[in-house]
Structure 1
Amino acid sequence: MGKLSIFLFVLFLFVLSVFSIFNQGTVSIIVPFGQIYEVQKFALILLSIAVGVFVAFIFFTIRDTKKFIDNWQYQKKQKQEIKVQELYSRALNSLLAKNEDAAKEALEGILKEEPDHIDALLRLGDIAAAADDFQQANTRYQRARQLEPKRIETLFALDSLLEKSGRWSEALRYLDEILDIDDANLTAMYRKRGVLEKQARWDDVVSLQKSILKHEHSEKDKKREHENLIGYEYEYGRHSLENSQLEKAKKTFRNILRTEKDFVPAILGLAEVLLQEGESEEAINLLENAFAATESKILLARLEDLLISISEPSRLIRIYRSGISRNPNDPVTKFFLGKLFHRLEMIDDSFDTLSGIDTGGASYPELHLLMGNLYMRKRQLEKAVQEFKKAADIKTAFRLPYCCNHCGYRADDWSGRCPDCRNWSTYQFNLDGTCKRA
């Protein structure tokens, strides 16, 4: 490179020399509103070259300076990003280790480096929310929202915070914002449904549930949400019934039964509507026909209450015997019949019916309790004591507990929906006492 530079410099001097030989004259330069100058051509050429070199030097100096500054800023930003990433990884690891203090320290370190780091703001908000510091959590979340108003994660965080503090209406506002951004967001729909449930806005829940069903993907999920839709329609009907809106309730229950003929809560709901309208016979016929179709003992128990209240035990006995003839190995219907005979003081009939029940080796506390009472009536005290010992865990005489056939939850009172697993139409009588206790 040294020899080449010398060669080029010598060549440049040679060219200048040639120019100087052939350009020895002068040139007049007129300055506007000034004097006229006589300048040798060769001097003008040298001056022009010098000015060009100076301008080029200034240009390249500015360019190289800008490159240097940009490169310096880039390296500085890279170092900052690496530091921030290391702090964020440390914070996440601390959160997984349930060390919130260390996580908080790392996240606050991130904000010192990068005050607008949205993920750090959200994680700090989560830590504050977990500690029930709702005000601090809201401050962090709102700051994150200011930086990126349409970030769905932030809106979900605000919704969770408001739900946790019981501010349902405000929580709905953020969920609606999410659905405005993404109208097919199932998580937002599920959460909105939960809030509407808490507010008992069953008509809105039913409408939303139809949208959820429309947006579900797999057949399994569609089936589950269709079952939920039936349940929510029942809740709407039940709510209407409780508020004496009998026409709404009747229409809702009938609509359910057009597609789900075995949905016991709707059958009971429709029967209750008919009773309140004074149509007792129609209600009884509905329950009787439904029991024949479903063999639901829940319907049988309600039917028993109705027929006893209108003093028609013979009709009830006929229904029980008809059920036993359809299913001779059904111990529950036999138990109901024996219990009815006991209730009607038909001791011998009750004893014959109950003693003929084949439990299949299972233990039926309520049956033993009833048999103990029958032995007492027959003055067979020793056998009565044996039966009472078998039913020692029974607290309420002749009161059959219910249990959920989905999760095993046990309850003393019937409900159309299990409070534990939240499924509908799952209660059955817990005659054998195998369900877990509430």
Structure 2
Amino acid sequence: MTLMTLLLLMILFMVFFIYFLQLNPAEMAIVFYPDHVLHASPAVVVVACIVLGLTIGYLLHLYGAASYLFKGWRRTRSEKREREVTELHREGLARLRSGDSTKARRLLQKALGMDGSRIEVLSDLAKVQLAEDEVDESISLLQRARKLAPKNLTVLFALAETYSQTQRLSEAEDCYRELLELDGDNYQGMIGLRDLFLTQQQWSEALALQKKLVKKSSGEAQVAEKDLLNGLRYQLAQQAEAEEHFDEALADYQKLAKDAPDFLPAQVSVGAMLLQKGRSEQAAATWQAGYRRFGHSVFLKRLEQQAMAEEDPTTLLNYYRQQVAEHPDDLLLRFFFGKFCLRVEMIDEAMEQLHTLEKSCADFPQLHLLLAESHMRRQRLSDAVAEYQKALGGEDRFRFAYVCSLCGAGAVSWNGRCEQCGCWGCMELSEVPATANLPAPEVREIHHGERE
């Protein structure tokens, strides 16, 4: 509005006021409160009301404008602080990825000091402190984040993982359960709780979760989850066996062997349970079928143990002779055949099988141990010493260690599950070949007593 327009409006207002005052010369009484009466012209009252209204309106306008400016200032300040906190957080994460945890901690603490309600800053600072073995401080930060956002799944998962890593398993279980109550289909939450049950050997609870995980997974992940499902079923059957519920254990083993025919431990345990119940012929048939399917040394070991326990070597010897005739290139079969012959004092046949192995370019400590023992039985001391030297100091002549094919952990006897990494069916006989993918030996006449 220009100055000229304002002057014209004021002049028009004064003209209107004078005209209205001339038309209403009388005065009117206005009572504010008892004993206080104001006498004024109606024109003055009208003008006073108009001026008062304009003044109030203008003051309200000033208040609104000031409030808007103040809110804008606060918003600008908050946005600036948020940008600074975000930048500090981003830089702290970059430092953490580069391995500079000290600088990362300083930046994240500064960001947290500027805005203590940032959940992601609290979580990442907790990771830094956990990496530096400041467990209590890490948990304290995560609990603080949990109070700020009780239903934040990321915070609950991080807190559960931290509890698990620090062996506070009951608190970890509570966090996982709360997470699954908020999101019953949370895949990572189910995996975390399942792994927690595995750690505590709570097979039944782990199996219930594993069934859900198999349904939710697909492709290669589903194959791995099914393998773990079979392993958990095997552990439940073993638990029933340990509690002397033999009928239940046998039924579980047989069902598992039927549902998962490639699951080796079930086949081994079916034979063991049949033998335990006095069904020795069925046990032997089960282990023989297991060896035909898997080609694993544990089946031959169990057959040998059964033959020695029942003092009936003839049946096993006939089995070995038949299988060697049908599969002459099976080095593992020849090795166990020779070892068993040595145990039952059939020295000549034992040496025949062991020398066949040696001529096939097989070279492992257990073979030399058995050859040394054979020479000792024939009083060929120099040959025995030579074989012992090849064995590099092996001491136990009839017990051979097993190793996990996945993690390399050793065990004196075969187990269905590796105690180190938890893999089922991974225990292999140490340093003994399973198949004969070896070059054919040169055929030439070997005279009696000649050594290559």
Shared fold per TM-score greater than 0.5: yes
DSSP-derived class of the 2:320 partner: helix
Compared CA separation, residues 379 and 398, structure 1 to 2 (3 A) = same
Distance of 2:138 and 2:171 partners within structure 1: 15
- Is 1:428 aligned to 2:428, yes or no? yes
Gaps in structure 1 of 5+ consecutive residues:
none
Distance of 1:198 and 1:421 partners within structure 2: 11
Aligned counterpart, 1:56: 57
Residues 26-73 of structure 1, C-alpha deviations (whole Å, 9 max, x = no match) = 1654535775745163x4554344223212211210111101111111
Q: Give the drift of 1:101.
A: 3.4
Q: Give the drift of 1:221.
A: 0.8
TM-score w.r.t. length of structure 2: 0.86
Aligned counterpart, 2:30: 31
Aligned counterpart, 2:12: 15
DSSP-derived class of the 1:329 partner: coil
Conservation of the 8 A alpha-carbon contact between 1:160 and 1:171: yes
DSSP-derived class of the 1:356 partner: helix
Conservation of the 8 A alpha-carbon contact between 2:28 and 2:42: no
The count of aligned residue pairs is 429
Distance of 1:383 and 1:160 partners within structure 2: 59
Among 2, 7, 22, the alignment partner of 1:5 is: 2
Q: Percent identity between the aligned chains?
A: 27
Aligned counterpart, 1:96: 97
Q: How does 1:183-202 map to 2 (within 5 A)?
A: 183-202=184-203
Residues 276-297 of structure 1, C-alpha deviations (whole Å, 9 max, x = no match) = 3333343233323433444332
Q: Give the drift of 1:410.
A: 4.3
Letter of the 1:287 counterpart: W
Conservation of the 8 A alpha-carbon contact between 1:400 and 1:431: no
Deviates more, 1:399-408 or 1:83-92: 399-408
Q: How does 1:36-435 map to 2 (within 5 A)?
A: 37-39=39-41, 41=43, 43-44=44-45, 46-216=47-217, 218-357=218-357, 360-432=360-432
Conservation of the 8 A alpha-carbon contact between 1:104 and 1:127: yes
DSSP-derived class of the 2:428 partner: strand
DSSP-derived class of the 1:31 partner: strand
Conservation of the 8 A alpha-carbon contact between 1:25 and 1:40: no
Distance of 1:147 and 1:261 partners within structure 2: 51
Distance of 1:36 and 1:382 partners within structure 2: 141
DSSP-derived class of the 1:284 partner: helix
Distance of 2:393 and 2:58 partners within structure 1: 102
Q: Give the drift of 1:9.
A: 2.4
Gaps in structure 2 of 5+ consecutive residues:
435-452
Distance of 1:5 and 1:297 partners within structure 2: 106
Distance of 2:108 and 2:342 partners within structure 1: 72
Letter of the 2:176 counterpart: L
Conservation of the 8 A alpha-carbon contact between 1:331 and 1:358: no
Letter of the 1:39 counterpart: S
DSSP-derived class of the 1:357 partner: helix
Compared CA separation, residues 276 and 373, structure 1 to 2 (3 A) = closer
Deviates more, 1:173-182 or 1:125-134: 125-134
Q: Give the drift of 1:338.
A: 1.1
Distance of 1:362 and 1:59 partners within structure 2: 101
DSSP-derived class of the 2:357 partner: coil
Q: Give the drift of 1:337.
A: 0.9
Distance of 1:199 and 1:241 partners within structure 2: 19
Compared CA separation, residues 359 and 39, structure 1 to 2 (3 A) = farther
Letter of the 1:394 counterpart: G
Distance of 1:294 and 1:40 partners within structure 2: 115
Deviates more, 1:319-328 or 1:359-368: 359-368
Residues 347-374 of structure 1, C-alpha deviations (whole Å, 9 max, x = no match) = 1111112212266544222112212232
Residues 182-234 of structure 1, C-alpha deviations (whole Å, 9 max, x = no match) = 11222211211121112221111111110111111x31111110111001110
Residues 158-190 of structure 1, C-alpha deviations (whole Å, 9 max, x = no match) = 212322332322211110111111112222112
Deviates more, 1:52-61 or 1:29-38: 29-38
Distance of 1:73 and 1:220 partners within structure 2: 54
Letter of the 1:101 counterpart: T
Q: Give the drift of 1:246.
A: 1.7
Letter of the 2:200 counterpart: Q
Letter of the 1:338 counterpart: G
Compared CA separation, residues 359 and 147, structure 1 to 2 (3 A) = farther
